[in-house]
Amino acid sequence: MRFVCFIVLIIATQCNGVYFDLEDFLEQWESEQVLTTYECSMCKRPDIKGSSPVITESDGLLRHNLKSDVTSDALTSVQGLDDGLDDVTASNDNEMTSQKAKDDFFDDMIGVSNIQDVQQGERDTSKIRKRSAETNQQAVSRFLRVFQDNLEKWRRKNGLAGFNRETNLTKHNTQIHTKVSLAFTNWLIKEQKAATKFRLNGLDCAQTRMIKSIRKTSSCKEPALRKEAVLKRNRITSIYSKAKVCRPNHPHKCLMYEPGLINLFAKSRNYSELVWAWKGWRDAIGPKIRTDWERIIQINNIGARENGYHDEGAYWRLNYELTDLQQVVNKLWDELRPFYLQLHSYVRYKLHQEYGNHVNLTGPIPANILGEIWAMSWLNIYDITKPYPNVNAFQVNKGMKEKNYTTHDLFVLADNFYQSIGLPAMPKTFWELSMFTRPKNRSVVCYASAWNLGHKTDVRVKMCAAVNANYLYTVHHEMGHCQYYLAYNEAQPPEFRAGANSGFHEAIGDTAALSVINPTHLKKLGILKEVDSNTKYQQNINFLLRRALEKVAFFPFSLSLENWRWDVFSGKITNKNLNAGWWEKKMKYQGIKPPVPRSEHDFDPGSKYHVTSGTPYIRYFVAHILEFQFYESLCKLAGHKGDLHLCDFQGSKVAGKKFRDMLAMGSSKHWSDTLHKLTGSCHMNAGSTLRFFKPLREWLEKENKRLGNKIGWD
């Protein structure tokens, strides 16, 4: 007999575990999952369970009473966090008056001055279920029509409030965003509860997928906890966005992350200075946010368990509709790890030549000397690691400077590239409402992001760009998000206006960037000059090493981050060893170490934006796998012959048509079906990545053997 813990939380403010036999219920529910999977997925991948509020034995929660998680602390008053939240229009009148004159986006444009605008415009979906004469399928159809209309309104309000806040970090804008986010969450919870009343049996594939999508939530049932989490999240992201590192004895000489610290890590080769900046950035954020971050994790786990998931990590993994996502990504890493170990060994040798005894030739690499504040990309140490230093450098920045490119020109180049393969031009509002560079008169969140703000064509980007190769890449990446938005906004209903999975979204722009940031394309643009045919092989090895420093080095970074966070969610890593657990993962996957001793007073994970903001990160690992699969498929469609890394599919309408068809699917199908649409394969694999880097892999193996380099670390 099968026992479960069925969570009943409709009105109660406490969580209660109720133990009883749900054999009949489970059999019906499980048959619905199988039916959905094998009738609706061409690839016939097993669907993950979780859209039901049922906790199974495999979740590890049998006989786990959730009452123990919701203590008086969980319901602590949030008074003092933001006393002005409940009456935002009454707070700080002087600030509000001047603020309204300066903001790019006014409250009346967002429509948040009266949250009831949306609520009054909603048709009550609960009434649909009372029409007893209707069949279940008819009721679902009516429910979905109403839900779609309301969802669009809420998404736009919430998105505009968020964009406004991140492009103008004021107390007023933060209050508005908090209020809208809470109202949106409350509405979603109500709709999620309504969607659980419908049976999946008898629905068509699209209806089933929509209802299951609506049911998915990990929000806490208790409004006070939701409010507390939003306030704390806004507070710690504000700390992150305003963080700076100041010179010793010069408190007014400070560096923010962008562009100050980015440039320092890219250019400085002074070991002590890099230690100062590395430690200073982490000191400016980690200890200040750790307590709030720990509390947010606790609240997130309460919400996840209330909704039938083992923890928040299990809910996040649901996005990939796989029961074994952790095993899948670890298997992909096993395929890539031998290549990474060769790269790590070669880079360590070169860094030892640069920094001497600071780098042990058989140990992990100090994290401060890899050219980037988190060591997630090693691209900026290319000058140290260049295989053939006497061969003409891959000087993209120099070429862009010679052509007098402006920041705006980078976006025009990206737009032209996408149009050349048959994708649409960016709408007029994109150019009018996006934030391309850092404003001089206000604080903003500079971290590059793309925004889908409703009305089908209101897509924007937000970044603090500069004219260099890194931003040429980033601009193509973010505009790729916008192309994905435009494709599925036009083709899909609101529930399916999302990526096939989160990794797909990140992969789209990176796929284009692989075609753009390569010698073939850059020569077409006149940024690079033709090379001497006698040094062509050396040029290719230099180019591939540059790409590997960026792409291959990222795989273990992303996997270490998310495996750490999954372990925090599950309780394998506790608040007593958050920082130690972080560095254990960094050592295991990346082979790096902190340049100075660390303790549990520190919170080094908080120095990464995605940890502070609560953004799932495995999407980037998945994206880096998918981009090479997408790229190889598009190159074949474009008729490319020869080494994969030299393919440029610009101008291929055949490739662009296939690409657009995949983008337009949104999340309407299981991601494996969407992948098959372009690649002909239902599975992620590392083969395309390894083929792209084949010449470099062979070169590294020979070079490390010649130098006698140790592979791995002690």
What tens digit of pLDDT does each residue of 678-707 get?
Answer: 999 999 999 999 999 999 999 999 999 999
What value does the mean pLDDT take over residues 327-354?
A: 98
**DSSP letter string, 135-153:** -HHHHHHHHHHHHHHHHHH
Catalytic residues: 478, 610
Residue 318, SS3? helix
**Phi and psi, residue 349, nearest 5°:** -60, -45
**Computed from CA positions of residues 28, 33, 38, 40, in that sequence, does the dihedral angle turn out positive or negative?**
positive
Average pLDDT over residues 451-478: 93
Q: Is 619 annotated as a binding residue?
A: yes
What confidence score (pLDDT) does residue 16 get? 29
Alpha carbon distance 646, 519 (integer Å): 7
**What is the percentage of the chain residues whose pLDDT exceeds 90?**
68
CA geometry: angle at 46 spanning 40 and 49, to 5°? Answer: 100
* Residue 408 is labelled as binding a ligand: no
Q: What letters, b where the CB count within 10 A reaches 16 and e where it falls short, cover 243-274? A: bebeeeeeeeeebbbbbebbebbbebeebeeb
Size of the chain, expressed as the number of residues it contains:
714
Q: What is the pLDDT of residues 69-89, one digit of tens each?
A: 333 332 232 333 333 333 333
Q: Do 249 and 221 touch, CB atoms closer than 8 A? A: no
Q: State both tokens at 459.
A: 């897509």
pLDDT value at residue 220: 85
Q: Is 477 annotated as a binding residue?
A: yes
Whether residue 418 is annotated as binding a ligand: the answer is no
pLDDT confidence of residue 18: 27
Query: Would you state the pLDDT for residue 259?
Result: 85
Q: How do strand 54-55 and strand 3-7 relate by DSSP bridges? A: antiparallel
Q: What is the pTM of this model?
A: 0.79
Q: For residues 14 and 401, what is the distance between their CA atoms, to the nearest angstrom?
A: 62
Res 124: pLDDT: 55
Going through 350-436 in order, the beta strands assigned E by DSSP cover 365-366
Binding site annotation covers 485? no
> Could you read off the pLDDT of 347-403 as tens digits, one per residue?
999 999 999 999 999 999 999 999 999 999 999 999 999 999 998 777 888 999 999
Please determine, for residue 464, whether its predicted confidence score (pLDDT) is greater than 70: yes
> So what's the pLDDT on residue 91?
33
**Mean pLDDT, all residues of the chain:** 84
Segment 21-39 shows an average pLDDT of 35
